Amino acid sequence: MQPVFLFPLAAAFLFSVGALFDKFILENKMPNAIAFFFLQSFTAVVLFPVLSILIFGLRFPSPFSLLLTLFAAITSSIGFLIYFLLLKNYNLSSVGPLVQTRLLFAIPLAFFFLNEFYGLVALLLMLLIFAGAVLATYSQGFSVRTLLLNNRLLLLAMVMALVWALADLPAKIVVNEITAPSFMAWRYILSIPVIGLFALLVFKGDARKAFSKNLLMTLPFSLTATFIGFTGIMLILMAYAFSYTIPSAVVLSQAIFVFAIAFIISRLKSSLISERQPMKVYIVRLVGVLLIISSIYFLMNSNMVL
């Protein structure tokens, strides 16, 4: 298999394993999502810039690009905080695939801020992505009204997708000035004061107690999860040397991988993570996952979104 396909496919699998690690840690090692957010943030701001600089070096952006990167650091941190809260309270088979829905907001943001319009077909595919997101949140006993009007998971997932789309927006501008690895390194470096501010706001009470109590037994798992994520990103960056669109499409298989991992665990009745739903629920969620990734694939394959 050619690297342009193999690298992003391997990255998608690693991202799925990383999501499983996150869910496992939240259920078995550090059950406070806010505490785990800070632990993962600390390990990421140390490992990501150091490894990236050692491998790729570091280019210095202009003051305006640095400001855009700071904005990306703020919004991505908000997205990760919401992600860990969702992962703590909901099934991996729902939350994992919803990560892909950021393109739902990337398209209108590109229109308003970058003057990019992808046509009416793109709007139709956006509706299908949203429909897939709705189905991916389905649980036993949900009615249509519950899915659409009283769906806390869907609401928070859309907020997560929006802030992550906002975090991606500066990248399209900044990487024209510096390399993608340098952008990633600077984003994590600038996350340090952002995390410090977050700590003043939410790192209190139960979160601080859980962090201190579970730090030593959680840290090895946290470092492993962070290294898995870094390796996946490096594989994607290596694949971008051959093509941008193909790896971006292939990495969508992450949604299938994470869904499959969660489903297999549910059938094995493993105590690794809590994932107990009737078969009907998984069938509906799978339809949602397929709608999400197929719609995004067609958007990319038709060169409507690059």
- How does pLDDT run across 158-215, given as a tens digit for each residue? 999 999 988 888 877 888 888 888 988 999 999 999 999 999 888 888 999 999 999 9
| pTM score of the predicted model | 0.89
Residues with Cβ within 8 Å of 137's Cβ and at least 6 positions away in sequence, in order, are 94, 98, 147, 151, 153, 154, 157, 288
192, two tokens: 């340090």
Ramachandran region, residue 267 (left: φ > 0; alpha: ψ -120 to 50; beta: rest): alpha
pLDDT at 269 over 80: no
Average pLDDT over residues 282-296: 90
First to last CA, the chain: 23
Average pLDDT over residues 223-249: 80
pLDDT of 193 reads: 93
Q: What are phi and psi of 147, to 5 degrees?
A: -60, -40
For the CA atoms of the chain, what is the radius of gyration? 19
Instruction: Answer yes or no: is 45 within a domain.
Output: yes
pLDDT of 45 reads: 92
202, two tokens: 């939410």
Closest CA to 80 of 206, 210, 188: 188
pLDDT at 275 over 90: no
Instruction: Answer yes or no: is 109 within a domain.
Output: yes
Three-state secondary structure of the chain: CCHHHHHHHHHHHHHHHHHHHHHHHHHHCCCCHHHHHHHHHHHHHHHHHHHHHHHHCCCCCCHHHHHHHHHHHHHHHHHHHHHHHHHHHCCHHHHHHHHHHHHHHHHHHHHHHHCCCCCHHHHHHHHHHHHHHHHHCCCCCCCHHHHHHCCHHHHHHHHHHHHHHHHHHHHHHHCCCCCHHHHHHHHHHCHHHHHHHHHHHHCCHHHHHHHHHHHHHHHHHHHHHHHHHHHHHHHHHHHHCCCCHHHHHHCCHHHHHHHHHHHHHHHHCCCCCCCCCCHHHHHHHHHHHHHHHHHHHHHHHCCCCC
How do residues 52-106 score in pLDDT, each as one tens digit?
Answer: 899 889 999 899 999 999 999 999 999 999 999 999 999 999 998 898 888 788 7
Instruction: Answer yes or no: is 169 within a domain.
Output: yes
Token pair 């971008």 is at which residue? 240
8, two tokens: 């992003």
**pLDDT tier, 241 (very low <50, low <70, confident <90, very high otherwise):** low
pLDDT of 228 reads: 93
pLDDT of 306 reads: 47
Q: Tell me the residue type at 191.
A: S
Which residues span the domain enclosing 183?
3-300
* Residue predicted with more confidence, 110 or 50: 50
pLDDT of 65 reads: 92
Average pLDDT over residues 247-258: 82
How do residues 15-48 score in pLDDT, each as one tens digit?
Answer: 999 999 999 999 999 999 999 999 999 999 989 9
Instruction: Answer yes or no: is 41 within a domain.
Output: yes
pLDDT at 118 over 70: no
Instruction: Answer yes or no: is 306 within a domain.
Output: no
Count: domains in the chain: 1
Instruction: Answer yes or no: is 151 within a domain.
Output: yes
